[in-house]
Structures are given as C-alpha cells and as structure tokens.
Structure 1
Amino acid sequence: MNSFFAVTDNDEILALQPRLTAEDAGVRRIALIALIDLADLEEPEGLLWLIERLADDPAEEVRAEAARLLEAWEDEAVVEALCQALTDPALAVQAAAAQSLSLLKTEAAGRVILPWAGHAETSVRIAALRALRELRFADAAPAAIQALNDTDANVRREAVGVLGWLKQLDALPALASLASADPDTEVRRAATGALGLASGAEVLPALRQALQDSAWQVREEAATTLGKVGQPDAGPALIEALSDDYWQVRLRATRSLGRLKYAAALDALIETLGHRISNLRKEAALALGELHDRGAVAALQAAQDDGDPEVRKAVRIALSQLQ
C-alpha cells in the first residue's frame, strides 16, 4: 500500500511525518492520535496511514491504537483492515479491532464482515458474529444458523444473539433445541431468551422445559421469556416456578404472571405478597394490580404498612388499578 504522505498536500499532516516514522513506539502512537484528528476534519486519505500502521507497525501498542482510532470509519477498506487485525498475534490488537468492528453501523460494513464469521480461528468467528449482531445485518442469518452447531460455546452464544436481534423465526426449532440440550449454561440461557422473538404457542414446550433446567440462570430466563410470548397457557408452569429454590426465578415468574394477567395466579401472588424478600413482595403487589381482580384488595390493603418503601409504593399503584 502506498503511504498517504506521497499524495497529501496538507502541511499539518506532513509535519507529523517525522513522528509517525520515529523509532520510539510511544511517539508514533501519539502521532497517530494527532493524525486521526486532522484526517477526520480535512484529509480522509489519511486513513491509509492508519491502515498501514494497523497492519505493519512492529509495536503492539501502536497497532492497537490504530485499531481503536479506526472505530469511527465506515470505509470498506477500514473494515477489511480491522477484520484482518482480528488475526493479529497480539491479544490487545485483536480486542481493539473487535471493539471497533462492534461499533460500525452500515450494511456495507456487514458485507465485509460476514465472510469472517466462518474463519478457522474461534476468536475471529466470535468477533465477527458479535459485530454482525450489532449491525442487525439480515444477510448474516444463514451464517448464524450454521454457527449454532459450532464446537465452541462462545461462538454458539454469539450466533444466538444474531438470530435473536434479527427475529429470525425460521431459526426457532434450532434455538429450542439449544435451549433444552446445549451443554453450556450460557448458551441455553441465551437460546431461551431468543425464543421470545416468537409470540406463538410453538415455543411453549421448550420454555416449559427450560423452566426445569438444572441451572437457575436458565430457569430465570425462561420465566422472563414466558411472560414476553404472551401465552396464557404458560400460567401453570409460572405458578409452579413461584416455589423455585432461587428467588431470582420466583421474581421473574411473579412479574410474568402479572404481564399475562393470569387470573388463576391470584392466590399464589397473594401468598408471595407476604414473602420475606422485599423485591418479591414488590413484584407480587404490582402483578396483583395487573390482574385487575378485586379479590386482591384486602391483601394489598394489609400490605400498605410494609416496612419497605418500594413495596408500599407498589401497593399504592396496585390499589389504584383496582379502584
């Protein structure tokens, strides 16, 4: 690649050349910062120098700085250079490049990144899928579906994220399979959450199964997602989840029962209103208000003197909904 300094006529940038080619890596790094300020305002061609430094500078800290400085540019040559930097031998450079890629916003950037989602190196696949997720790049769906079978759990998790953001309905069977059978807890949790992209009853069996998962994090996600899909048939499983060993699961189940306005949960929610954990009492009060069942009035009135101000506030809100 030809150096930018061969084509520019910007005196301020030309004045930087001695520092940009200095022996001291620290001097070169500071010069790059000055260069990007000038290039951003006056000389877009200055990107060529940063790309060169990203690819060829002998100092890890200079390459990493170049990767960070390139985060604001959507030029396809920049995106390709950042993708190439994902294979840099230095982890700091890889991390800086991955971060810069995750901040890009254009479809053109997605087209450049997409082939890297199938790269031989695991870390590259992870970074590429993460960037594609942030872009909401529709053409990434086939690659993400394929990545659901990756041998690395982190890759599978990023692929789930891509499909969830894209609301890729044809991926629901694969996501349901991961939610119930993936050996990695975080993959199961992410897949369970991604099932919320559907609003139909077809995801209920997988979510009910996830509500019985051995990991409480997955059960918590299942309790949350069951409220999002808006299926009243989820009610009995959520009532059962109010007895979960973990309060986090019980809290999400309480919240979802309110969202579903599941009338049969009245007694269970009134019982939860007396729980020793104040967050659960607060959520129970709010859920009782959402049921719009005056059968909850007496219990809510009795809770008006709760020792926690947040619970008292929730009780007031609930009673106002029942007037």
Structure 2
Amino acid sequence: MDHQSTLRGITLLLILGFAGCASNGAIVDPLIYWDKDDPEFVAKYGPTPTQRIESLDNLAYRANRLSETERTSHSAKISQALAEEPNSVIRVHMVRALAKLNTPEAFAGLKSSLYDNDEAVRREAVTAMGVTKNPEAVALLGDVLIRDRDYDVRLSAAKSLGEFSSGAAHEALVPALDARDPAMRFAAIESLRKSSKVDYKGDTAKWREFAQGGNPEPPATSIAEQLIPSFLR
C-alpha cells in the first residue's frame, strides 16, 4: 500500500469516527448536537436536559403570577411526568417547581417523591413539604423521620416539621429528640422552638414532655441573661 492510499484510509477513518453513526447506520453530523437553540433541532430531538431544567426553574420563578387554572395544569403535567423521568437532577427541579405551584395536584407529586429511589429527590421533596404548609404533610414527614434510610433526608424532615405549629407536628419530632445523634436532636429542638415560641434551651427531657402535650416549667433565666438585652440573646 503506497503512502497516499494509507493517508486516504486514515482520513476516512477519522471522518467516520468524528461523524459517528446513528442507530440505523446512517452518518450523523456531530455538529447538530451543538446547535441546541435551533427550533428544528428541538422539534426533532426534544429539549436538552439543561433546557428542561431552565424551563422548570422559570416556571417556579413565575408560579405566583400564574392563574389557578395554569398552576393546576402545570402541576398535573409535572406530577405525571415525575414517575417516568429517568434523570434524577431533572426530578429535583420538578419537585422545586411543584413546591412553588402549591396545588393539590402538586402535593400529590411531592407525596410520591418521598419514595423516590434517589435521596436528593427525597430530600428536596421533604423540604418542599414544609414550603407548602399543607397539614397533611405532618404525618408524611413524621413517617420519613422514622422510615427513610438516608440520614440527610431524615434530618431535613426534622427541619421541615418546624414549619408546622400543630401538636401533631410537635409529637412527630419525638423520635428525633430521642436520637443518639446530637445534630438530629438539635434540629428537633430548633424546630420545636421555631414553631412553639417557647424555649427550654437544651433540656431534651423538657422538650420531649412539651412535644408530647405537656407544659413543663421553663428554665430559670440566669442573672447574666437578665443583663443582656433580649434582642442580643
């Protein structure tokens, strides 16, 4: 084989390797994948993951300016698509959008996301439950706090329960107060303090009594604390 034949062969191999082959064996222009803003490309191949995420984030940003009918429609579509979406990053952004849409249809999607196989999605769903302020979320968050296998998801559940001031929310935090992990106990105490406006400081026993419906005496204020203005405490 002469030098020119060898060069032509190498050139042909490079062209084929660079162009790539479609599933049906046809040569595909690789540059098409870089022209993602072309309407024809989007119509043929669909939006890219980045474009879908941007669309979801934009929807979340303007959710409070949408009509109830629009929010309901978007919520239903996203909730239905969640079950079939293979990309966990996109599912996270779907959950964020549902939290902002905050409709019954959106809540149904958030509820199903509590059982997602990806912990990042479950953690986002737990946080979203607190954003919705839906009373039905209390029992769901309490279940996550006990059931979920991921520590960060359980910790997020303890924090989200602080968005609810009901006795049921307080009682749901008891397992976190009994946790061996100090960060989990601290999260439970902070949630109880936030939602109840009482303060038993770091006294876990009194917080537990309060969470279970009791009314323990608050701790005495020290002389040093009395000398510090309340806004500096």
State the TM bucket, normalised to the shorter chain: 0.5 to 0.7
1:116 equivalent in structure 2: 81
For 1:113 and 1:120, the matched residues in 2 are separated by 10
Query: AA paired with 1:227?
Result: R
- After superposition, residues 17-32 of structure 1 pair within 5 angstroms as none
Of Structure 1 and Structure 2, the greater helix share is in 1
Paired with 1:120 and 1:25, the residues of 2 have a C-alpha distance of: 21
Structure 1 segment 40-79 matched on structure 2, within 5 A = 52-56=40-44
Give the one of 86, 93, 112 matched to 1:127.
Answer: 93
Q: Residue in 2 aligned with 1:316?
A: 229
For the structure 1 residues 175 and 318, does the alpha-carbon distance in structure 2 shift closer, same or farther, using more than 3 Å as the test? closer
Provide the TM-score with structure 1 as the length reference.
0.47
Uncovered stretches (5+) of structure 1, i.e. residues with no partner: 1-22, 33-49, 58-83, 242-252, 254-261, 271-297, 304-314
Percentage of identical aligned residues: 24
**Hey, what does 1:143 align to over in structure 2?**
109
Counterpart amino acid of residue 101 in structure 2: L
RMSD (CA atoms):
3.8
Task: Quote the residue 1:199 is aligned against.
Answer: 165
Deviation, structure 1 residue 263? 5.4
With over 3 angstroms needed to count, the CA separation of the structure-2 counterparts of 1:214 and 1:263, relative to structure 1, is: closer
Which structure 2 residues correspond to residues 269-280 of structure 1 after superposition, within 5 A?
Answer: 270=222
Count of aligned pairs: 187
Give 1:162 shift: 3.1
Instruction: Please report how far the alpha carbon of residue 176 of structure 1 lies from its aligned counterpart in structure 2 after TM superposition.
Output: 0.5
Contact 1:138 1:166 in 2 (8 A): no
Per the normalisation by structure 2, the TM-score is 0.62
1:158-307 aligned within 5 A: 158-230=124-196, 235=200, 238-240=202-204, 264-266=218-220, 270=222, 298-300=223-225
Once the two structures are TM-superposed, the CA of residue 120 in structure 1 deviates from its matched residue by 4.1
For the 8 Å contact 2:142–2:157, the answer to whether it is kept is yes
SS at match of 2:229: helix
What is the CA–CA distance in structure 1 between the aligned matches of 2:62 and 2:79, rounded to whole Å? 13
Deviation of 1:132 after TM superposition, in Å, equals 0.8
